[in-house]
Structures are given as C-alpha cells and as structure tokens.
Structure 1
Amino acid sequence: MLFRRRKPADFGERVRTLLWPRRSFWRSAQYFAKRVLRLTATPHAIAAGVAAGVFVSFLPFLGLHFLLAGVFAWIMAGNLIASAFGTAIGNPLTFPLIWAATYKTGCMILGYGKAGEADPLHLGHKLGHLDFAQLWDPLLKPMTVGGIPLGMAFAIGFYLLTRWSVAAFRKQRQNRLLERAKRRAEAQPVGAAAGG
C-alpha cells in the first residue's frame, strides 16, 4: 500500500489518536468539513444528514447514535454518510458539556428540583446490574427531555450553515472549472480549433 505506516500503530497509539489527534483538533475538523462538502448529493440532503447527526448527538443513547442519525436522515431525505459525519459533534471533548447542558435543561423542563440535588445515583452499581429502569427517571429522562430542544436548536444552526457552505463551495468550484475551460480555449491556437 502506498501510504501505509512503516511501523503499524499499536493499541495504545490508536487510543491516544482517537482521544487526541496527532496533528490537531482543528485539522481534524477541517478534514470532516471537506469530506462533507465533497459529498455527491443535493445541498438539502447533505445539510439534513448533518443536522440529523448533530441532533442525535444530544440524546443520551450512546451506541445508537449512528443508527438513530441514519433513521432521522432517512426520514428527512438526508444523506446517510453526512449523518454519520454529523454525529462527530458528540465526541469525548464535547460529551461532558452536552450531557451537563441536557441534564440541567431537562430538570428545568420537568420541574425537578435543582440539578444534582437528588440522592446520588450510584451509577456504577446500576450499570453493573443493568438497572435501566432505575436509571431512566433520575438521569436518562431529564437528559432526553433536555436534549430534544437543545439538539433541535443546534441541528437547525448546523443545517443552515451546512446548506450555505455546500452551495457556496459548489458555486466556487463551478466558477473555477469555467475559468479553467476559458483559459484552455484561449490558449488553443485558432487554426487548430477551426481545423479540428
């Protein structure tokens, strides 16, 4: 393979790269943005897919984000690949902020007391015994209720930004291609064009 590493990355290096990219987070974000802009679909389909992924990232159902994003993208006639890219908004750096915001918003909407005022959850014990019913009311329900309005607000913002970006990128690319064709036509000798 042409661009394979000489020394394959071990497990520790792969985990480190997953949590902290080798170059920078900005470069990774630029990579994702360029991949989204170059998708072959309508601007609405790409933007709807990204919006579906962003919305799902605000829900507390880890492990189901790709599947749920794909379902929402399909419902909105969005691009499935763009929905997978949209879920990248939820990552190890942003999840603590997202979860705290959705939990507090959900507690406010549901009329629970101040967030964090309830008895401790003993999360490790409940997860160890798979007590989903006991996790739903004090934790997952407020996060889901709070995640819906926050997710929708961010999804609308990302939809508008993505749709505008895709349309601008395609217009700029079309102008570049027209300019290149015009230069080629001007560079071609007159006799060759008439005799060809």
Structure 2
Amino acid sequence: MVFKRRDRRPIWKIVLEFFWPRGGWARAARYVKHRLHRLPDPPHRIARGIFAGVFTTFTPFYGLHFLVAGLLAWIMRGNIIAALLATFFGNPLTYVPIGVVSLKTGYFLLGLRPDTAATDEMHTSLGRMFVDAAADLKANLAALFTDDVADWSRLSVFYDEVFFPYMIGGIIPGVVVGLICYYVSVPLIRAYQNRRRGAIKAKLAALRKKTHLAGDDSKKGD
C-alpha cells in the first residue's frame, strides 16, 4: 500500500497520543481554533456549530458525539464542520469534570441522593462505568444469537443511576457553556474574517499595482 505507515506505532504509543497528542493539547487547541477561523460561513453560523459541538460533549452519548453534534448543527442551521471540531472541547482532560458536573446536576434535578461511596466512585471511575456498560451491552446482544442468557439487570442499574441522570443533568451546563462559547466566538471569528479579507484585498491591490507597473514598463520599451 502506498499510503501505509512504514513504522507501525505500538499500542502503548497510540493510547499515549490519545491522552496527550503530539505537541500537547495546547497545540491541538490552536489547530482547532485555526480551522474554525478559516471556515467560509458567516460568524453566526460557525458559532451555532460551535455551540452544537460543545453542548454535545455534555451528553453521555460517547462514541456518537460526531453524529449528535452534526445532527444538532444541521437542525440549528449551523456549520457542521464547526460542530465536529468543537466536540474536541470534550477530551481526556475534560471528560471527568464534565461528567461529574453533569451527573451531580442530574442527581439534583431528579431528586436523587447518591451515597458518599457512589459519589467517590463517580469521581474515580466514571470512564470505567461506561466501558463496563458497553461490554455488558455487547455481551447481551451476542447472547441473542447464542445459547448464553442475557442479563439486563446491570444495564438497568447503569441507566437509572448514571446514564439518565447524566443525560438530564448535562442539559443545563451544556447550554450555559455552549452559549458562552457562542457569544465569545462570534466577535472573534468576525474580526479574524475581516482581517483576513483585508489582507487578501491588500495582496490583490499589490498584485494589480505590480501588473500595472509591468505593463507601463513594457509600453516604454516599445
């Protein structure tokens, strides 16, 4: 294969770069910011996409964030590419605080009172809860085609104690953070686009002037 990597990365390196990409998260954030600024849509449409992407990171639909963000941006008539890029607001450095805030808000809104042990586990093993739930779901779906017996009890507990509170609780902080990102991004994107448009006009004017001078020189030569 022409485009196949010559040096295959080991598993540990792939995992490490997932949690800490090359150049660090600051460089990754600058790349996303640069791509957002260069999108061709008007600032308000790009900002709607940013809102959709940021809001999606406060939902428990892990593995489907691109799909959810793109669908939400389409409904809001926002920029879909901006929505996909904005989902990087949720990353291994922010998923735990986002999950904890969403769960605690959900517990409060639903009137649930988790015990201290459950709260401590929520802080330390939120990711493991979703991994275990995904494993149970996979095993139960496989059991439908084998002689194994499907056990949905643990998934039912996960839905009642984690997924549903997370989904409900993520709405308020997701909307708040999404609106902050929206109102911050609109003037920044507008200023960037105006500056870039001015730079392009200046380059075109300089090119016209250079072409005009070259034409005058050729006439003098004749």
User: Is 1:48–1:159's contact at 8 Å kept on the other side of the alignment?
Assistant: yes
Distance in 2 (CA, whole Å) between partners of 1:60 and 1:42 is: 30
Q: CA deviation at 1:21?
A: 1.5
Query: 4+ runs of 1 displaced by more than 4 Å?
Result: 114-127, 185-191
**2:12 is the alignment partner of 1:12:** yes
Unaligned runs of 5+ in 1: none
User: Is 2:107–2:165's contact at 8 Å kept on the other side of the alignment?
Assistant: yes
Aligned alpha-carbon RMSD (Å): 3.2
Partner residue, 1:167: 190
Answer with 115-124 or 75-84: which moved more: 115-124
Partner residue, 1:79: 79
Taking structure 2 as the reference length, what is the TM-score of the superposition? 0.75
For 1:20-169, list aligned pairs within 5 A.
20-113=20-113, 116=116, 123=129, 124=132, 128=136, 129-130=151-152, 131-169=154-192
Larger radius of gyration: 2
Partner residue, 1:183: 206
Q: CA deviation at 1:6?
A: 6.3
Distance in 2 (CA, whole Å) between partners of 1:81 and 1:125 is: 30
Taking structure 1 as the reference length, what is the TM-score of the superposition? 0.83
Output the amino acid matched with 2:182.
Y
Q: CA deviation at 1:167?
A: 1.0
User: Is 2:133–2:155's contact at 8 Å kept on the other side of the alignment?
Assistant: no
Answer with 55-64 or 175-184: which moved more: 175-184
> Secondary structure, in 3 states, of the residue corresponding to 1:51?
helix
Answer with 112-121 or 43-52: which moved more: 112-121
Q: Deviations over 1:100-128 (max 9, x none)?
A: 11111111222222564669899548953
Give the share of equivalent positions with the same residue, in percent: 32
Distance in 2 (CA, whole Å) between partners of 1:50 and 1:105 is: 23
User: Is 1:103–1:115's contact at 8 Å kept on the other side of the alignment?
Assistant: no
Output the amino acid matched with 1:50.
I
Q: Deviations over 1:164-192 (max 9, x none)?
A: 22211110011112223333445556582
Output the amino acid matched with 1:170.
Q
Answer with 165-174 or 116-125: which moved more: 116-125
Distance in 2 (CA, whole Å) between partners of 1:21 and 1:179 is: 37
Distance in 1 (CA, whole Å) between partners of 2:26 and 2:94 is: 14
Output the amino acid matched with 1:181.
L
Output the amino acid matched with 1:86.
A
Distance in 1 (CA, whole Å) between partners of 2:118 and 2:8 is: 48
